[in-house]
Amino acid sequence: MFEKISAAPADPILGLTEEYKADPREDKINLGVGVYKNEHGETPVLPSVKKAEALLLDRENTKSYLSIPGTAEYGLAVQQLLFGEQADVINDKRAHTAHSPGGTGALRLAGEFIKRHLGEVTVWISNPTWANHKGVFTAAGLPLAEYSYYDAAKNDKDFEAMVADLEKANAGDVVLLHGCCHNPTGIDPTEQEWQALAELCQRKGLLPMFDFAYQGFATGVEEDAAGLRIFTKVCPELLIASSFSKNFGLYNERVGAFTLVGRNQEEATKAFSQVKTIARVIYSNPPAHGAAVVTTILNDATLKAQWLQELADMRDRIKTMRTEFVKTLKAQGVSRDFSFIEQQNGMFSFSGLNKDQVNALKADHGVYIVGSGRLNVAGMTHTNMVPLCTAIAKVLD
Ligand code: PLP
Ligand code: TYF
C-alpha cells in the first residue's frame, strides 16, 4: 500500500540541522535553527528551570490527565506575562488561555478555530515569515495572503508597503503579527507603528493574531509586549499564540499557549468553549511538565527574578555577538555595510547573503545558515567569530 508514496521534502530549517550533524568537518558552524546557544555553543537547561524541576519532583503527586486547557494557574501566569499583572483584559475576564503543545500547537489551534468559526476569511502573513506559518494555516484549510514587510535594498522594514497591503484586506480577515523579534528578519514595528497597525485593524474590522515566540529576547519581557498591549487597548478581539521554547529554554517540553480575547466575558467564554472542542480532537489534553515549570517559576518571586536575569543574559550575549560580528566583518576587510545587524532584535538577522553565497558558505566553509540568508546570531561565539567572518568575506569576494 505504501509503494505509491513519495518522500516528503525536509523542513527547510530542521533539515539543515540534520545536514549539519552529518557534516564530518570539525570546524563547522551552525547558524541555522533558532535555538539559543551559550558562549560554548551549548544549549543547557536554565538554572531556574532546574530549580523548578527539583521542586516539582518533590511536590508532584499524580500523573493524572490535565483538563483540556491545562491548569488555571498556568493560564493566569501566561496572561499576566502577555498583558501585564493588573491588565483590564484579565480583570474583565475577557481572556481565556489554553495550554498548548508548543507555540506551533497554539498556532494550529488558532488555525482550526478560524477555519471552523470565522467563515471564509484569509490569513495575512508577512513576507517573509517563519516558513511553518504557511504550513500550519494551509493544513487548517485557510487561504493565505502576504503583506510586504521587508525592503531588501534598505535591509529594513517597509512599513508603508505593509500598510498599503493590509488596506487590501477584507473585514473579518486575520492579520498575523510577530509579537517581537520578527522571524526571520529581526526587525520589529516601533510603538507608533504598532499603534497605527492596531488602528488599521480596528477601522477595517480585521482580527489581529499575535505569534509571540521570543518575549524577552528584544528588550525585556514587559517592553517586548508593548505592541500587543497597544492592540489590547484598540482592538476588542485578539488571538495570541505564545511559545516558551526559547525564553524558558524548554524546547523539547513543548510548552506554549493559545489565548483568545473577546469583546466581553460572555462572548469570550462561548468562543473559548469551541477551542476546547478543537484541542480535544487533536491532542485531547496538553503535556504537563513544561507548563508546570513555567508556572512554578512565574509564581515564585525569587525564581522569577532568577529567570528574568537568565533571560537578560541570553539577550545580552546575542547583542554582544551582533556588535562583534559587525566589527569582525570589517576587520576581515568586508566593505559592505552590515551595521543594520546591530539594530535588529532577537536571535535572527537577515544577512542579505544570496542563495549562491549561502551555498558556498556551507559547501566550502562548513557554515550553515538558512537559505534565505537568515543568521541565527545566537549560534555565534567568540571562538567561531573570526572563522565565520573570514568565510563570509571569502564568499562576498
Ligand atoms: N513562531 C515562531 C515565529 C517561531 O520562530 C517558532 C519557533 O520555533 C514558533 C512559532 C514555534 O514555537 P514552538 O517551538 O514552541 O512550537
Ligand atoms: O525558526 C526557527 O529556526 C525556530 C525553530 O519547523 C524551528 O523557530 C524551525 C523550524 C521548525 C520548527 C522550529
Show the DSSP H helices in 3-46 as ranges.
Answer: 14-22
pLDDT at 394: 94
**pLDDT, tens digit (0-9, with 9 covering 90-100), for 70-85:** 999 999 999 999 999 9
Express as a percent the part of the chain with pLDDT over 70.
100
115 catalytic residue (yes or no): no
**Catalytic one among 51, 124, 130, 188?**
130
Evaluated on CA atoms 171, 173, 176, 179, the torsion sign reads: positive
**pLDDT, tens digit (0-9, with 9 covering 90-100), for 348-369:** 999 999 999 999 999 999 999 9
How many CB atoms lie under 10 A from the CB of residue 287?
A: 18
| ipTM of the prediction | 0.97
The domain segmentation of the chain, as residue ranges, is: 10-44+310-396, 65-299
**Catalytic one among 211, 224, 307, 362?**
211
How many CB atoms lie under 10 A from the CB of residue 270?
A: 10
211 catalytic residue (yes or no): yes
Using the predicted structure, report yes or no on whether residue 14 has a pLDDT greater than 90. Answer: no
The CA 103 to ligand 1 mean position distance, Å, reads 5
Rounded to whole angstroms, the Cα distance separating 321 from 336 reads: 18
Of all ligands present, the nearest one to the C-alpha of 176 is: 1
pLDDT at 12: 82
pLDDT at 23: 95
pLDDT at 10: 84
Please list the residues that pair with 293 across neighbouring strands.
none
Fold of 10-44+310-396: Aspartate Aminotransferase, domain 1 (3.90.1150)
**pLDDT, tens digit (0-9, with 9 covering 90-100), for 30-60:** 999 999 999 999 999 999 999 999 999 999 9
pLDDT at 203: 98
The CA 132 to ligand 2 mean position distance, Å, reads 8
Using the predicted structure, report yes or no on whether residue 371 has a pLDDT greater than 90. Answer: no
- The CATH number given to 65-299 is 3.40.640.10
The CA 59 to ligand 2 mean position distance, Å, reads 33
pLDDT at 70: 98
pLDDT at 291: 98
Taking residues 131-144, report their average pLDDT: 96
The CA 243 to ligand 1 mean position distance, Å, reads 6
Residue identifier of the C-alpha nearest atom 4 of ligand 2:
34
Which residue in this structure is represented by grid cell 509579537? 179
The CA 386 to ligand 2 mean position distance, Å, reads 26
pLDDT at 194: 98
* pLDDT classification of 117: cutoffs 50, 70, 90: very high
Binding-site residues, ligand 2, Cβ < 6 A: 11, 13-14, 33-34, 130, 132, 183
Using the predicted structure, report yes or no on whether residue 9 has a pLDDT greater than 90. Answer: no
92 catalytic residue (yes or no): no
* Position with higher pLDDT, 289 vs 371: 289
Mean pLDDT over each residue of the chain, to the nearest integer:
96
If you write DSSP's letter for every residue of 60-123 in order, what string do you get? Answer: ----PPPPTT--HHHHHHHHHHHH-TT-HHHHTT-EEEEEESHHHHHHHHHHHHHHHHS-S--E
* pLDDT classification of 397: cutoffs 50, 70, 90: confident
**Catalytic one among 157, 246, 307, 362?**
246
pTM (2 decimals)?
0.96
Contact 380, 41 (CB under 8 A): no
Residue identifier of the C-alpha nearest atom 9 of ligand 2:
13
Binding-site residues, ligand 1, Cβ < 6 A: 34, 102-104, 130, 178, 183, 211, 213, 243, 245, 256
**pLDDT, tens digit (0-9, with 9 covering 90-100), for 170-225:** 999 999 999 999 999 999 999 999 999 999 999 999 999 999 999 999 999 999 99
